């Protein structure tokens, strides 16, 4: 009995959970060493540690090229070893900021924001530049934004951000929008921020966001700087034109495609014709031509746009032509202010409106108008709609004749409307605003769902809004061109200002909120 009682008193516990971060026992050379001339650094901890997500977390300022070799990665160890492969600049302070990458092996407790600093001169630079990051179009900026200082000496040019790494660099990591570039020396600098997608500390217009101050800064400084990140509109450019089917050449593009002019320079027969359409799925302009050119194996083109001109040779061969495919949208339900659209994968050459009909649920003819967007090859069918109605759009055979003389078969589409009470209506009253402005309702990712353009003080009414949560923003159209214009680094041009209403807007069915928005 005594043995049984002893056995039932309980089980030994595992003790309290370890919440203590690892401790550095020593560093060789010591942290904040001067007159540094070593090629290896060894940091010793009191327990086994791991290094996580080093590629994003570690910031070396100034950057080293080639990058140092750091171990361990993926394995537990009591040491971090840094092997320096770059030739260090004289009289320069270097800093390794590990962010939150160092954690203990058992519980993952981080050694937060560990920095190892040394100087190749006889003192440690101690000046700082601080500030915060905002985004030109988003309510919250991206994580892991690099903030850089380029020394504005006699060798500085604006193009250096495309070619060389900065003098100093830091990172906002994943938990804050503020930054601090530390251990820098006095001087004049260009302050730049990058959402550096490939993490090479150089600006690539195609993939990166950029932000910058228009004027240089002088260090030391007590100013807190605000940098606005934006995505530049890509410079117009054609990429790798190629024949993709019979008499159809795809011209891949970057930048503004609407002003692209594609001119054939090769000799062509008198009956030669061509059309250009924007591909519905890819960043390509499709160049269609006829007749089939049997006596040549390549065509020469000149493509031009604003400040852009380039010639291309495209190899051609005999390939089967595309088959005409006609699609329509929307399907199912249509909004009261929404148009019905019919598009084709081959350019429409002729459209017979008399062969199109729109009837409501009582089989009554509904008056409509049509309009063709030749670049997107989309026909818009516009007609007035009533509540709880059903509409049948019929397209008889031979309504569409495409570029290669293909014709459609009979097409029937049925769409319906809801009641007015199924939607919400939002009225926006703006105060302290300079017109014109673009007023938008977006989703949580910043995608515009509806927008209105306003040139004068007036209530902005969004009717028949699908119930959901939206975010209200106002684009200050300073150049009065009716659209948002991003910035440009080489032109030292900031993006147009966007003001966000601070709270989300909950739009409910049969509910008409009124939003008073005073712009700052």
Q: What's the whole-number mean pLDDT along residues 49-60?
A: 88
Residue 504 lies inside a defined structural domain of this protein = yes
User: Does 1 map to a domain?
Assistant: no
What are the helix and strand counts (H, E) for the chain?
3, 41
Q: How far apart are CA 376 and CA 400, in angstroms?
A: 15
Tell me, yes or no, whether 77 and 153 share the same domain.
Answer: no
Tell which of 315, 348, 365 closes a domain. Answer: 315
Domain CATH code at residue 222: 2.60.40.1120
Quote the pLDDT of residue 10: 42
Examine the domain organization and report whether 342 and 377 are in the same domain.
Answer: yes
Strand-pair category, 115-119 with 102-104: unpaired
Let me know if residue 19 belongs to a domain.
no
Name the band, by pLDDT with cuts 50, 70 and 90, for residue 16. Answer: low
| Whole-number pLDDT of residue 12 | 46
pLDDT digits (tens, 9 = 90+) for 21-42: 899 999 999 999 999 999 999 9
Contacts of 448 (CB under 8 A, 6+ apart): 440, 441, 442
Instruction: Identify the pLDDT of residue 11.
Output: 41
d(CA 205, CA 338): 35
Torsion sign across C-alpha atoms 56, 21, 97, 81: negative
Provide the pLDDT confidence category of residue 520 given band limits of 50, 70 and 90: confident
Q: What confidence score (pLDDT) does residue 75 get?
A: 87
DSSP letter (8 states) at residue 479: T
Average pLDDT, the chain: 93
Rg (CA), the chain: 32
CATH number at residue 108: 2.60.40.1220
How many domains would you assign to the chain?
Answer: 5
Shared domain for 153 and 201, answered yes or no, is: yes
With 70 as the cut, is the pLDDT of residue 9 above it?
no
Q: Using pLDDT thresholds of 50, 70 and 90, give the confidence band for residue 77.
A: very high
148 in the same domain as 90: no
Instruction: Render pLDDT for 290-323 as a digit per residue (tens, 0 to 9).
Output: 999 988 999 999 999 999 999 999 999 999 999 9
Of 461, 500, 498, which is closest to residue 483 (Cα–Cα)?
A: 498
In sequence order, which residues have a C-beta less than 8 Å from that of residue 250 and are 6 or more positions away? 241, 242, 244, 279, 282, 284, 285, 286, 287
3-state SS assignment for residue 354: helix
- Two structure tokens written together for 84: 């320096």
Task: Give the CATH number for residue 295.
Answer: 2.60.40
- Per cent of the chain over pLDDT 70 is 96
Residue 17: predicted pLDDT: 62
Give the pLDDT of residue 294.
85
Element of type H or E holding 3? helix 2-7
Does 5 have pLDDT greater than 70? no
Q: Does residue 196 share a domain with residue 225?
A: yes
pLDDT tens sequence across 83-126:
999 999 999 999 999 988 899 888 888 888 899 999 999 999 99
Residue 387 maps to which CATH number?
A: 2.60.40.3710
Q: Which of 367, 385, 418 is the last residue of a domain?
A: 418
- Kindly report the number of other CB atoms within 10 A of residue 519's CB atom: 14
3-state SS track over 417-440: CCCHHHCEEEEEEEECCCCCEEEE
The enclosing H or E element of 163 equals helix 160-163
Assign 3 a pLDDT band (cuts: 50, 70, 90): very low
Residue-wise pLDDT for 140-196, tens only, equals 999 989 999 999 999 999 999 999 999 999 988 766 899 999 999 999 999 999 999
Taking the C-alpha atoms of residue 219 and residue 235, their distance in angstroms, rounded to an integer, is 34
Beta strands in 84-208 (DSSP E): 93-97, 102-104, 115-119, 127-135, 146-151, 168-171, 178-184, 187-195
Output the CA torsion 351→353→354→358 (10° steps): 130
Same domain flag for 132 and 225? yes
pLDDT over 50 (residue 408): yes
Residue 250, classed as helix, strand or coil, is strand
What whole-number distance in Å separates Cα of residue 490 and Cα of residue 73? 39
pLDDT tens for each residue of 461-519: 999 999 999 999 999 999 999 999 999 999 999 999 999 999 999 999 999 999 999 99
Q: Are residues 436 and 452 in the same domain?
A: yes
Share of the chain above pLDDT 90, in %: 87
pLDDT in tens, 204-213: 998 999 999 9
Distance CA 36, CA 32 (A): 9
- Contact present, 241 and 260 (Cβ < 8 Å): no
In a domain, 398, yes or no: yes
- Position 198 scores a pLDDT of 86
How far is the C-alpha of 41 from the C-alpha of 236, rounded, in Å? Answer: 47
**Which structural domain range is residue 29 located in?**
24-119
Q: Are residues 142 and 94 in the same domain?
A: no
Return the closest-CA partner of residue 187 out of 158, 220, 212, 155.
220
Q: List, for residues 388-403, the tens digit of each pLDDT value.
A: 999 999 999 999 999 9
Q: What is the pLDDT of residue 6?
A: 40
- Tell me: do 433 and 490 sit in the same domain: yes
500 and 429 part of one domain: yes
236 is a domain residue: no
Question: Which residues is 184 bridged to in the sheet?
Answer: 127
18 lies in a domain?
no
What is the residue-wise DSSP string for 46-100?
EEEEEE-SHHHH-EEES--SSPPEEE-SSS-EEEEEEE--SPPPTT-EEEEE-TT
Least confident among 2-16, 24-38, 200-214, 258-272? 2-16
Res 380: pLDDT: 98
Side by side, which strands form the sheet with 261-264? 261-264, 298-305, 308-315
Residue 87 is assigned to a structural domain of this protein: yes
Q: Is residue 15 over pLDDT 60?
A: no
pLDDT for res 18: 61
Among residues 363, 398, 418, the one where a domain terminates is: 418
- Domain for residue 234, yes or no? no
- Distance (Å, rounded) from C-alpha 359 to C-alpha 232? 46
What is the predicted pLDDT for the residue at 4? 40
Note whether 95 and 164 are same-domain residues.
Answer: no
User: Under DSSP, is residue 238 helix (H, G, I), strand (E, B) or coil?
Assistant: strand
Strand 93-97 vs strand 187-195: parallel, antiparallel, or unpaired? Answer: unpaired
Across 246-297, the runs of DSSP E, i.e. the strands, are 248-254, 261-264, 273-278, 284-290
Whether 248 and 164 map to the same domain: the answer is no
């Amino acid at each position: 009995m005594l043995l049984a009682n002893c056995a039932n008193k309980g089980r030994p516990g595992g003790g309290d959970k370890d919440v203590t971060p690892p401790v550095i026992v020593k560093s060789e050379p010591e942290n904040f060493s001067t007159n540094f001339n070593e090629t290896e650094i060894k940091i010793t901890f009191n327990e086994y540690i791991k290094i996580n997500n080093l590629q994003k977390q570690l910031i070396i300022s100034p950057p080293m090229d080639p990058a140092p070799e750091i171990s361990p990665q993926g394995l537990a160890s009591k040491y971090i070893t840094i092997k320096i492969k770059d030739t260090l600049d004289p009289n320069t302070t270097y800093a390794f900021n590990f962010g939150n990458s160092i954690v203990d092996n058992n519980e993952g407790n981080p050694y937060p924001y560990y920095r190892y600093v040394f100087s190749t001169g006889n003192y440690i630079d101690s000046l700082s530049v601080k500030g915060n990051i905002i985004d030109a179009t988003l309510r919250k900026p991206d994580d892991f934004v690099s903030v850089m200082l380029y020394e504005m000496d006699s060798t500085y040019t604006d193009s250096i951000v495309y070619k060389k790494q900065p003098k100093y660099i830091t990172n906002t990591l994943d938990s804050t929008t503020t930054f601090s570039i530390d251990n820098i020396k006095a001087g004049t600098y260009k302050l730049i921020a990058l959402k550096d997608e490939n993490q090479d500390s150089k600006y690539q217009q195609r993939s990166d966001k950029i932000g910058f101050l228009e004027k240089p800064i002088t260090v030391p400084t007590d100013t807190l700087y605000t940098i606005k990140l934006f995505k530049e509109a890509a410079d117009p450019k054609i990429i790798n034109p190629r024949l993709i089917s019979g008499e159809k050449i795809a011209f891949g593009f970057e930048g503004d495609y609407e002003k692209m002019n594609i001119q054939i320079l090769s000799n062509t027969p008198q009956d030669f014709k061509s059309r250009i359409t924007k591909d519905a799925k890819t960043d390509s302009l499709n160049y269609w031509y006829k007749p089939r050119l049997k006596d040549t194996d390549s065509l020469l083109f000149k493509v031009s746009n604003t400040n852009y001109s380039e010639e291309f040779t495209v190899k051609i061969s005999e390939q089967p032509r595309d088959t005409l495919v006609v699609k329509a949208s929307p399907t199912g339900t249509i909004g009261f202010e929404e148009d019905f659209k019919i598009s084709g994968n081959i350019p429409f050459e002729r459209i017979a409106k008399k062969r199109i009909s729109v009837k409501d649920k009582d089989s009554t003819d509904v008056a409509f108008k049509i309009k063709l967007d030749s670049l997107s090859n989309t026909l818009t069918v516009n007609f007035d709609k009533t509540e709880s109605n059903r509409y049948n759009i019929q397209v008889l055979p031979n309504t569409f004749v495409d570029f290669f003389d293909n014709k459609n078969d009979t097409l029937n589409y049925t769409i319906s409307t809801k009641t007015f009470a199924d939607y919400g209506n939002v009225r926006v009253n703006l105060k302290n605003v300079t017109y014109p402005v673009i007023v938008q309702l977006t989703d949580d990712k910043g995608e515009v769902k509806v927008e209105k353009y306003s040139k004068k003080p007036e209530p902005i009414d969004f009717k028949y809004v699908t119930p959901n949560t939206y975010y209200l923003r106002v684009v200050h159209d300073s150049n009065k061109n009716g659209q948002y214009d991003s910035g440009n680094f080489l032109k030292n041009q900031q993006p147009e200002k966007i003001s966000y209403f601070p709270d989300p807007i909950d739009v409910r069915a049969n509910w008409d909120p009124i939003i008073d928005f005073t712009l700052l």
